[in-house]
Amino acid sequence: MSPTSSNAGGGHLTLDAEALYAELLRGVRALRGPQTHLAGIASGGAWLAERLQRDLGLHGAAGVLSSSMHRDDFAQRGLASSAQTTLPFDVNGADILLLDDVLYTGRTIRAVLNELFDYGRPACVRLAVLVDRGGRQLPVAAEFAAARVSLPATQLLSLARAEDGAFHFDVKEV
């Protein structure tokens, strides 16, 4: 089965998160330089960065970035219970590969970039995602996306992780 498939009868989209992760691993290998640091957006992107760090045989921990304090909808959402920002490397002059599970409007990426620049001025920041679902509200693009899909605005797509570490997707109606 391909990482993405469509059921022609009902338009149902099936995403194989593990197959997409294998594609993301391939893409990150190609994007990464010897001095590249991985940083994932809490929570799905952080899970990806953590697993990529291990699967690429990199020493230390990947960074985690929280968008909570810089969101433009902070007044409605408040502080999320997601992870706090942890960057185990010097941001100044760093080559950073930012990872996220699903790229949609671009607003989370904008918030995370603001958070990142609170810690210093990186030389380069690139974005790799598991799924780019389109629907951008801001001019944000990923250098690598394991899959590009179209979903109605009424559906929320997010990465989930089982106890054994295996990835799958949750799709919810909003």
**Does the structure show a pLDDT above 50 at 2?**
no
Average pLDDT, the chain: 90
CA gap 57, 59 in Å, rounded: 7
For 31-78, the pLDDT digits (tens) are 999 999 999 999 899 999 999 999 999 999 999 999 988 877 655 545
Strand blocks (E) in 57-166: 63-65, 95-103, 124-132, 144-148, 155-161
Spatial contact of 67 and 115, defined as CB atoms under 8 Å apart: yes
**Residues 6+ positions from 103 with CB-CB distance below 8 Å:** 109, 127, 129, 131, 132, 133, 140, 142, 145
Radius of gyration of the chain (CA): 16
CATH architecture of 4-173: 3-Layer(aba) Sandwich (3.40)
- Calculate mean pLDDT across residues 121-149: 97
Q: What is the pTM of this model?
A: 0.89
Domain boundaries, the chain: 4-173
What digits encode the pLDDT tens for the residues 78-117?
555 557 999 999 999 999 999 999 999 999 999 999 999 9
Phi-psi map region of 106: left, alpha, beta (phi>0 left; psi -120 to 50 alpha): left
